[in-house]
Structure 1
Amino acid sequence: MSKRFPGRRLSWLRLGVLITATAAIVAAAGVGWGQFTDARAAAGKASWFAGYVDATATPFYSFENPSSDAERSVILSFIVADPQESCTPSWGGFYGFDEAQATMDLDRRVARLADTGGHIGISFGGLLNKELATGCTDPVALKRAYSQVLERYNVDTIDLDIEGDNLADTAAGERRATVMAQLAAEREAAGQDLDIWLTLPVAPHGLTDEGVRTVEQMLAAKVPLAGVNLMTMDYGQSRQPDQSMLDASIQAARSAHVQLQAAYREAGLESGERTVWSKIGLTPMIGQNDVPGEIFSLEDATGLNAFASEVGIGRMSMWSLNRDATCSANYGDVTKVSDNCSGVEQHESSYAAVLGQNLGGLPRAVSEPGRTASAGAAPESTPAASAAGIVDDPATSPYPIWNSEAAYVADERVVWHRNVYKAKWWTRGDVPDDPTATAEVTPWTLIGPVLPGETPQPVVTAPAGTFPEWKIDTIYLKSDRVQLEGRVFEAKWWTQGDSPEAALQGADSTPWLVLTNEEVAELLSDLQK
């Protein structure tokens, strides 16, 4: 027999209220749990800062010698399709890999930064050239081209800067996404990291339709995107006249966040608020932007860093480290963009320090436990190598071994303790790795380590008759060129009877300048045209 409780009947109204309240509690619990798991997932992703370096801009930026912790991680740009061979990667359309090493010492400088605990990422694309997937329509060749870059520079972080015509090319976007998925899967299978970032233009209203489509292509191809980096710059008419660059950038980030949440949700991926913020990067153009009147100030940088910390963005970058300095008085019109200065008075401040404040210097992939970082990534500890016991071998050194008795002239290179040094000025007897010499007084600049597989660089000589043979009784004027045993020399001033051979031995008083391998090769090339 069932028991009844007199005076406590449950009416339909009360039952409805109870059901509604219960549902609300369950829903609230679900929301709370969702927020908890979202926050926990986002907390597992470290925020990091890396400034872009325009690798081919002259003078070449010394990224291998970071002046602060904020510059220990850099994004070298841009790898693009070679103008003559569309499936061949090149630096800015100017240099192949070997040319970049010969001209810029790029391989050695990359190795130098890695040896000292820094990290290199590489950016593909940009506005002015064809990104590899735009120029190369053969999927097999395209994959090989990307792989060549990864292997050459031992990188585990790539940045796909897709804008302009590259962004409008739908077919290129499909090819790019397919190949990125393949490369990521291969790296995963090999236990190696590969962080893939997609960099896109943005306006205060968010990503363009083409930008959203590019993200969707990547997600549909199952590319494990590390994130989407927003170029918070060059807004033009999309920015309201009374809107600051900081406010426009924050609005752009919030608008893109909504779009990316929808894209991740549509792809069946985690789309919690904090998780999506952790997959967003912000990249302002420091100082004077390409659009007249748009100036991203140091105060804007402070505000953007605070916003990034508040919402938990995954990455902060800037264009570019080359420009992170006050323009000299000789640069007359700071309203015009310079490759080498910001266009604003920075006093003692740097944009890198401000934007990178409280952010780590390395991508998450480098520090994940149980993973194998690539050779381009920073090692767990990087104590300075001791010179004791290091033997320099002429057979495996690209330049002569430093000799305390020899004299060296500006730009001459030597090897000492398995590192390559370049002379700043005439020097004799100054040890290249003297630990007591400051940067101001040492006559040597450390470029980077001797690379595996290197051998002595062959001397480029001119065939007989290319230039007149030097004669002891001939008068030579400034800029006259002669050759002696195949080496080419140029007169620095009027001379007679002074043998060019003294220039080979580094004599500072010689009236002759010995031309470098690169200079001789260029002369011979010009003569053949």
Structure 2
Amino acid sequence: MSRRKNDAGEDVQPAESGAAPRKRSGRHPGKRLSPWRVLLGIAVATVVVASAVTVPWYLTQRDAAVAETAGPQWFGGYFDVTAADVSMSPTTGDGNDDTVVLGFVVAASAQRCAPTWGTYYTLAEAGQQLDLDRRIDGIRREGAHVAVSFGGALNTELAVACDTTSSLMQAYSRVLERYSVTTIDLDLEGAALLDTAAADRRATAISALQRQHEARGGALDVWVTLPTATTGLTDAGLDAVRRLLEGGVTLAGVNVMTMDYGTDLGGATMAEASIQALNEVHDQLTQLYRNQRIALPAAGAWAVMGATPMIGQNDVRDEVFTLADATELSDFAQQRDLARMSMWSINRDRTCGPNYPDVSAVSDSCSGVEQGTQTFAGILSTGFDESPSDAAATPAATPMPDDPETSPYPIWSEDAPYSHGVRVVWHGYVYAAKWWVSGGPEPDDPTQTADATSWVLVGPVLAEDRPFALPTVADGTYPEWNVGTVYRKGTRVVVDGVPFEAKWWTQSEDPMDGVTDRDRSPWEVLE
């Protein structure tokens, strides 16, 4: 990600409006004024009157885009939805009302104005294949909050693909309504930062959505996340903030990506470089809000700022954000009372395993630094114990009865084998296998520790779940499986109308095991 240095301009205080000149006697009382002096006096009086009228009108017409009191101070790590296995449960920070920021919702393509998760899944497909709706429900049941991030470094941002404000509003609304989120994050990078037409559509659509929420007695908190250099936001980044404000968006804050600087840091640590960047952004936002005549909270620009480091190994090989950096940045953020602390990403908050040979190569699944028993989330969340607004209240725990006719996945059985990632239902909840497992203990066995259990809780069975059903074929399509027959690779059989195909030579192994054992069973279901 290339960045350019911003021109550092001195803060210029706006000239104070003067009062109309007072009539007084001069050195030549009674002296007749020339026509030129009369005209000049009229012109001066006109300017003074205009300034006395126009400025107050502007100030009264312009709604402040930030409340005069600071908002909540919250921690929310980003969770890369498409990079995570279903059996991976998003962890939060220190457990004090933290937030999970789900990323990234983007357009289906450069020409298709439809919200998707990373272009890989539609919202419906994410619900079916990733159990995302259920996992969101589970996150909330555990006391955490959920926000959604639009954009990111890859793919096409929605405002770029949607060529009308109405279509963009519809795309945003589909996400907000499906997941009941009231905090969103606009992650603007690359082409999305340079497209001014998209920026204006984005501002108009978001502003209208905020007014809709307000009309219903609610609120929509909007954060904009931007790349930075150690010298501050780029000109395009500042312009993105300005266009949102001028478009009527009430910004909860500006989140700064303190990562991937790609320049010589002059021996500075990643924490020192990040603190320098945040100080520069603070000054930029102070001037920008002053220019826009928008009141900041009493704490100033710090109260509308957030920081998001990339934990561990950054995309730039020489940049590594260590646990010590996390501690130093956390201390600074608390001293300045930043409104938000985040990190990229929850998926990476662990030490890489011994079989990952080059930790300088960025992994989606580990940090690249030795963490021991510590987590970056635990350090960075310190002091950020509040939460952004979350319209979806924690649902009551009312598990539905286990019924094979209505359950979205097979009911767990002690006799069945299960491959990694396979999901089952047990006592009204959905669980995913962490590795191949057969037999007990039960998925909800309370004596099992998090490390020892073979199962991870995904979330409750939901009333709107569709029943699990295997595909069937017409009678006579394939021969019935026989326990004594030898079957070679590619042979097809049916069991109770369900079609299977042999993956290799097999005899006497029940094809039905292939429903849940996708790794070791010689049979796979024909879809």
Q: TM-score range by the shorter chain?
A: 0.7 to 0.9
Structure 1 residues 231-279: Cα deviation after superposition (integer angstroms, max 9, x where no partner): 1111112x54233222221111111111111222222221356232110
Residue 304 of structure 1 is matched in structure 2 by 329
Distance change (3 Å), C-alpha of 1:119 and 1:103: same
Residue 425 of structure 2 is matched in structure 1 by 415
The offset of 1:223, in angstroms, is 0.7
CA distance in 2, matches of 1:403, 1:169: 55
Would the aligned equivalents of 1:292 and 1:335 in 2 still touch at CA under 8 Å?
yes
CA distance in 1, matches of 2:94, 2:523: 38
Distance change (3 Å), C-alpha of 1:260 and 1:407: same
SS of the aligned residue for 1:113 comes to helix
Residue 171 of structure 1 is matched in structure 2 by 197
Residue 213 of structure 1 is matched in structure 2 by 239
1:488 aligns with 2:499: yes
Residue 20 of structure 1 is matched in structure 2 by none
The offset of 1:455, in angstroms, is 3.0
CA distance in 1, matches of 2:93, 2:478: 45
Distance change (3 Å), C-alpha of 1:426 and 1:356: closer
Structure 1 residues 136-177: Cα deviation after superposition (integer angstroms, max 9, x where no partner): 112211101000001111111110000100101000000000
5+ residue gaps, structure 2, are 1-66
The offset of 1:299, in angstroms, is 1.3
CA distance in 2, matches of 1:422, 1:293: 38
Would the aligned equivalents of 1:396 and 1:453 in 2 still touch at CA under 8 Å?
no
1:449 aligns with 2:473: no
Residue 271 of structure 1 is matched in structure 2 by 296
CA distance in 2, matches of 1:61, 1:229: 30
SS of the aligned residue for 1:420 comes to strand
Would the aligned equivalents of 1:326 and 1:345 in 2 still touch at CA under 8 Å?
yes
1:437 aligns with 2:416: no
Residue 25 of structure 1 is matched in structure 2 by none
Distance change (3 Å), C-alpha of 1:438 and 1:323: closer
The offset of 1:182, in angstroms, is 0.6
Residue 77 of structure 2 is matched in structure 1 by 51
Relative to structure 2, which stretch is displaced further, 415-424 or 464-473?
464-473
The offset of 1:401, in angstroms, is 4.5
1:397 aligns with 2:414: no
1:249 aligns with 2:266: no
Q: Please, what TM-score do these two structures have when normalized by structure 2? A: 0.78
The offset of 1:66, in angstroms, is 4.8
Residue 511 of structure 2 is matched in structure 1 by 500
1:98 aligns with 2:124: yes
Residue 3 of structure 2 is matched in structure 1 by none
Distance change (3 Å), C-alpha of 1:114 and 1:260: same
Would the aligned equivalents of 2:69 and 2:298 in 1 still touch at CA under 8 Å?
no
Would the aligned equivalents of 1:461 and 1:486 in 2 still touch at CA under 8 Å?
yes
Paired AA for residue 437 in structure 1: Q
Q: Within 5 Å, which residues of 2 pair with 1:322-333?
A: 322-333=347-358
5+ residue gaps, structure 1, are 1-40, 366-372, 522-529
The offset of 1:131, in angstroms, is 0.6
1:356 aligns with 2:381: yes
Distance change (3 Å), C-alpha of 1:395 and 1:168: same
Pairing partner for 1:286 from 306, 311, 321 = 311
CA distance in 2, matches of 1:64, 1:344: 20
The offset of 1:409, in angstroms, is 3.3
Pairing partner for 2:261 from 235, 238, 263 = 235
Residue 116 of structure 1 is matched in structure 2 by 142
Residue 153 of structure 1 is matched in structure 2 by 179
The offset of 1:59, in angstroms, is 3.9
CA distance in 1, matches of 2:89, 2:512: 37
Would the aligned equivalents of 2:150 and 2:187 in 1 still touch at CA under 8 Å?
yes
Residue 374 of structure 1 is matched in structure 2 by 391
Residue 338 of structure 1 is matched in structure 2 by 363
Distance change (3 Å), C-alpha of 1:208 and 1:467: farther
The offset of 1:324, in angstroms, is 1.3
The alignment's C-alpha RMSD in Å is 3.1
CA distance in 2, matches of 1:466, 1:83: 40
Q: Please, what TM-score do these two structures have when normalized by structure 1? A: 0.78
Distance change (3 Å), C-alpha of 1:103 and 1:142: same
SS of the aligned residue for 1:283 comes to strand
Residue 340 of structure 2 is matched in structure 1 by 315
Distance change (3 Å), C-alpha of 1:61 and 1:274: farther
Paired AA for residue 374 in structure 1: A
> More relative contact order in 1 or in 2 (CA 8 Å, sep 6+)?
2
Structure 1 residues 466-523: Cα deviation after superposition (integer angstroms, max 9, x where no partner): 866645664223675533344233447643455535767x899x965453xxxx44xx
The offset of 1:407, in angstroms, is 3.8
Distance change (3 Å), C-alpha of 1:436 and 1:218: same
Distance change (3 Å), C-alpha of 1:346 and 1:507: closer
**May I ask how many residue pairs the two structures share in their alignment?**
458
1:80 aligns with 2:106: yes
Structure 1 residues 436-468: Cα deviation after superposition (integer angstroms, max 9, x where no partner): 333455454321111232231332235678866
SS of the aligned residue for 1:268 comes to coil
Would the aligned equivalents of 2:309 and 2:342 in 1 still touch at CA under 8 Å?
yes
SS of the aligned residue for 1:202 comes to strand
Relative to structure 2, which stretch is displaced further, 51-60 or 65-74?
65-74
The offset of 1:205, in angstroms, is 1.3
More helix by share: 1
Structure 1 residues 401-454: Cα deviation after superposition (integer angstroms, max 9, x where no partner): 4567x6453455443332123355454575443333334554543211112322
Residue 14 of structure 1 is matched in structure 2 by none
Would the aligned equivalents of 2:70 and 2:299 in 1 still touch at CA under 8 Å?
no
Distance change (3 Å), C-alpha of 1:484 and 1:320: same
Q: Within 5 Å, which residues of 2 pair with 1:27-46?
A: 44-46=70-72
Distance change (3 Å), C-alpha of 1:335 and 1:495: closer
The offset of 1:71, in angstroms, is 8.9
1:459 aligns with 2:476: no
CA distance in 2, matches of 1:230, 1:361: 19
Residue 218 of structure 2 is matched in structure 1 by 192
Would the aligned equivalents of 2:227 and 2:233 in 1 still touch at CA under 8 Å?
yes
Structure 1 residues 207-242: Cα deviation after superposition (integer angstroms, max 9, x where no partner): 1111111111111111111000001111112x5423
Would the aligned equivalents of 1:231 and 1:282 in 2 still touch at CA under 8 Å?
yes
CA distance in 2, matches of 1:228, 1:278: 10
Pairing partner for 1:180 from 196, 200, 206 = 206
1:132 aligns with 2:158: yes
CA distance in 2, matches of 1:501, 1:248: 58
Residue 11 of structure 1 is matched in structure 2 by none
